[in-house]
Amino acid sequence: MEEPLTGGNTSAEVVKVGSTVRRPTGPWTPSVHALLGHLERRGFDGAPRAIGIDERGREILTFVDGQVVWPDHFDLVAEDRPLAEVAALIRRYHQAVVDFPSPAGRPWSDRGGDPRGPGEVLCHNDLAPWNLVRGVAGWAFIDWDLAAPGRLAWDLAWALLSFVPLLPHSRLGLEATRHRIGVFREGYGAAGFPRDILAVAVERCGREAQLIRDLGPRGEPPYARLLAEGHLEIWAAAETHIRRHAPHWQAAVDG
């Protein structure tokens, strides 16, 4: 029996079948499955496992049972300890892929990918509350379709702006925002935390707005829907907001 799953932006027709998830494939699917297999061999428990392809050509992944943080359970990361745990999970992921064999010709998705930076790390590219599950076994990130090589700051900036959060809807004051940036930085590891992360957060918001602006009018999913729902204005406002406040937050990044 197939149970439709909702909430994602990048895949349609995602269903749960028993203890598995079935999703449409793309040119990037073999690369993503190779990545998930590598993470499994490295003992990284913060991602689903790739099982294969079913008779209908859909990818098969293990279902990560638990609560998705956004939009209904952001309270799960509202305190310092879980925020630091999430940052540490991201660091463990980045460490686990240091030796991932990723030849230049391997196809990855270009949605969300770093458009100009060097391939410092294999980015998840959507490390955000809407892809974070709090399960029985701990935290796990889902929806790995956007994975691609890029700058470390590119991957981390998305997580920082969405988990602190640094977005205009945040009700945090200046000191509270600085505090949560500091908690995230220490949880990830201060020595490896990029000092330009706020500038890259601005860049990421601008890139997201650009994709919606360029691809939405062409009817390309999911950007047509995001354009209709007002996400162009959301990300354009976020770009302006973070650029304006970044000088006041930078001290927390520098430690």
The whole-angstrom separation of Cα 214 and Cα 211 is 5
Do 108 and 145 reside in the same domain of the chain?
yes
Q: Are residues 127 and 89 in the same domain?
A: yes
Residues 32 and 88 in one domain: no
Sequence-ordered strand ranges (E) for the chain: 2-4, 15-17, 20-23, 50-53, 59-62, 66-68, 121-123, 132-135, 138-141, 148-150
Residues 2/15, Cβ–Cβ less than 8 Å: yes
Name the domain boundary from 11, 41, 62.
62
Backbone angles phi, psi at 64, to 5 degrees: -90, 105
Instruction: Looking at the structure, tell me whether residues 142 and 207 fall in a common domain.
Output: yes
- 244, 199: one domain: yes
Q: Name the strand (E) or helix (H) holding 86.
A: helix 80-96
**What pLDDT does 10 receive?**
56
Span 185-211, pLDDT tens digits: 999 999 999 999 999 999 999 999 999
- 84 and 190 housed in the same domain: yes
How many Å apart are CA 25 and CA 23, to the nearest integer?
6
Distance CA 164, CA 179 (A): 9
pLDDT per residue as tens digits for the range 52-79: 999 999 999 999 999 999 999 999 999 9
Domain shared by 53 and 139, yes or no: no
Pairing of strands 15-17, 2-4: antiparallel
Residues 168 and 234 in one domain: yes
pLDDT given at position 106:
85
Task: Name the domain count of the chain.
Answer: 2
Query: Apex CA 116: angle with CA 210 and CA 94, to 5°?
Result: 105
pLDDT, tens digit, for every residue of 224-237? 999 999 999 999 99
* pLDDT computed for residue 75 by the predictor: 98
Tell me, yes or no, whether 29 and 130 share the same domain: no
Do 120 and 44 share a structural domain? no
Each residue's pLDDT tens digit, 126-163:
999 999 999 988 999 999 999 999 999 999 999 999 99
Pair (30, 98) in one structural domain: no
Q: Which domain holds residue 54?
A: 2-62
Query: Do 55 and 72 lie in a common domain?
Result: no
CATH number, domain of 229, equals 3.90.1200
